[in-house]
Amino acid sequence: MTPRNCEYPQELVLELEGTCRLTQIQVLSHQSHIATKVELYLSLDNATYNRLGFLSLKSNKESQYTARELKTVHINSTARFVKFKLHQCYINDKNVYSQVGIVAINLNGEVEEETGPSSSTDEMELGASTPSKPMRASASITPTKASLLPLKPPSPAADDTADLRFDAKTAAKIREIHVAKEKAVAMEDYDQAKRLKVLEQQLMNIGLQLARLEGAKREAVANEDYDAAKRIKDEILELEASIGMSTTPPTGRSESYGNGGGFPANNRSSSPPPPPQMTTSTYNSTPPPAIPSVSKQRTQQPAEQLQQSYEDETERPLAAASRPPPPLKQQPRSSAAFSTPPDDDLNDAPLRTKPKAPVENAATSGGGGNPHFQGLPDCADLADPEALPDSLLSESAEMVSLIGEYLTTCFYSNVWNHRDAAIRKVALDLTDPAFTDPHDPLVVLSVASTMVQSGVSDRIAQVALSAVALCHGMLQFAETHATLDRDAVVQVLNNPLIQLVNKLGESLVKIRDEVTSVLLQVTKTYIA
């Protein structure tokens, strides 16, 4: 646990018992004292650290701070020291002293043969040794000021496709396609570059689904639900087979991107080791509901079924490349709209599944777009969100009764496009008497308040801006309903105001300006 009311970022340094080849890093976060982001660094001498990437943690509000989030990173790197840089914590009622807690850290790997004298451990004497096999580590939390020297940024060329969210094989494929695409651009073969871009986007979507299935399989095994684990394993194998991800190394490269544009048939000598991969987070709590599985029909046609917006990190979590991958089958062109908002920091992407009771999308049935997003032309082709657990739906009964199960599912989706669309749709509906009149105005404000509170703290800048706009709509709605009790409105606004005040320290000027405008409006209306 970090000190009370400390400055961020804080650093946690682990010294291993020797030079080790690490294959996996696991971080189990505290249930309420949660960092917004954890950066990972590796070093051999405790002097120069190489940035491995970062982990984005969720606020855990959905579980009422009863679950613990586990993050797992698969790597293949040699290190003597591992440093975790803990960034600003989430603000909640249970974390009154703005602390960050790490319940457990698990490092898996093996100790390599010593080739020279080990480095001095005098700098680590504040740490406490914890035995583990096959290596040991000592740790210390070092308070540091926010004005740290900037690290050397990773190479943009190597940073475009590598991601902690993909397994090593998928990341290798993505990297190889990206390299081929860059060569096509350099040779001005734009038709080939366009084809490779589509392949790259499709493979990213498939990789995200594979990562989620792997997490679901581990969770099923932990719960001793072996039938579900076997079913998920079969789905993983089918999905891997559908993109030609063989378990045995192939002898050549896919013609669709290996030599189609006049590229070299092999560039193994210039490729670094495989990049790390971050699996889907799991929660160390009571067993969750059964995770929705993907039908065989979906796994046989991944490129067409996985037409979702790919969440691309603006602060790329990893700079690495890998050897050429197995052959990749040419996939049909996807018609999905891939969009990335400006100045955002996107979070983990989800497994694509449909809601339990989905409403037929007019876009797929010959209509003029998704009927749930009428008034939002840019969301007309947005695909259906993943399903929500029954427990979360029951807890959100008030929201479901107001905006419906579909928009509620979108609001809690792991895909930022869904969250943004749901918030914008509710903001639009607040001006429609046909939407608000059948409901108690205080209930309308309460649901909107919940959406603003969650949206303002979202890591995606576009979602946060939409939530601030919804807060503007709430204030206008309250002004037009004179029957609302003034104190009741202030009570509803309490929780969003905490998040809005916290956003005043946001680095993006546009968000700061919008938040300031809302706070001034609240001050003039309810305080002055």
Regarding whether 129 and 188 lie in a shared domain, the answer is no
Regarding whether 243 and 114 lie in a shared domain, the answer is no
Q: What is the DSSP string of 7-44?
A: -S-EEEEEEEEEEEEEEEEEEEE-SSS-BSEEEEEEES
> Does 320 reside within a domain?
no
CA distance 508 to 468: 14
Please report, in tens digits, the pLDDT of each residue of the chain (528 residues total): 999 889 999 999 999 988 999 988 999 999 999 999 999 999 999 889 999 899 999 988 888 888 888 998 888 889 999 999 999 999 888 898 889 999 999 998 888 876 544 444 333 333 334 444 444 444 444 444 333 333 333 343 334 334 556 677 777 788 888 888 888 898 888 888 888 888 888 888 887 788 778 878 887 888 888 888 888 888 888 877 766 654 333 333 333 333 334 333 333 334 444 444 444 444 444 444 443 434 433 333 443 333 333 333 333 333 333 344 444 444 443 333 333 343 333 344 343 344 444 444 433 333 456 788 888 888 878 888 888 888 888 888 889 989 999 999 999 988 888 899 999 999 999 888 888 888 888 888 889 989 998 888 888 889 989 999 999 888 888 888 877 888 888 888 887 888 888 888 777 888 888 888 888 888 887 775
CA distance 360 to 340: 26
What's the distance, CA 394 to chain centroid?
25
Regarding whether 513 and 412 lie in a shared domain, the answer is yes
DSSP 315: S
Regarding whether 460 and 483 lie in a shared domain, the answer is yes
Neighbour count for residue 297 (Cβ, 10 Å): 8
Regarding whether 127 and 53 lie in a shared domain, the answer is yes
Regarding whether 254 and 166 lie in a shared domain, the answer is yes
Regarding whether 280 and 378 lie in a shared domain, the answer is no
> Does 339 reside within a domain?
no
Last residue in a domain, options 102, 120, 143: 143
CA distance 191 to 201: 16
Last residue in a domain, options 143, 171, 192: 143
Regarding whether 169 and 93 lie in a shared domain, the answer is no
Q: Which amino acid, 79?
A: A
CA distance 141 to 144: 9
Closest CA to 375 of 416, 463, 445, 434: 434
> Does 344 reside within a domain?
no
Split into its structural domains, the chain has a count of: 3
> Does 47 reside within a domain?
yes
Last residue in a domain, options 285, 305, 325: 305
Regarding whether 207 and 129 lie in a shared domain, the answer is no
The separation between the first and the last C-alpha atoms of the chain, rounded to the nearest angstrom, is 40
Regarding whether 161 and 105 lie in a shared domain, the answer is no
Look up the CATH number of the domain holding residue 82.
Answer: 2.60.120.260
> Does 324 reside within a domain?
no
Regarding whether 181 and 273 lie in a shared domain, the answer is yes
Tokens 């998040």 belong to residue: 499
Neighbour count for residue 255 (Cβ, 10 Å): 12
> Does 348 reside within a domain?
no
3-state helix, strand, coil in the chain (%, to 5): 40, 15, 45
> Does 313 reside within a domain?
no
Residues of the domain holding 495: 371-527
Regarding whether 386 and 522 lie in a shared domain, the answer is yes
> Does 315 reside within a domain?
no
Neighbour count for residue 385 (Cβ, 10 Å): 28
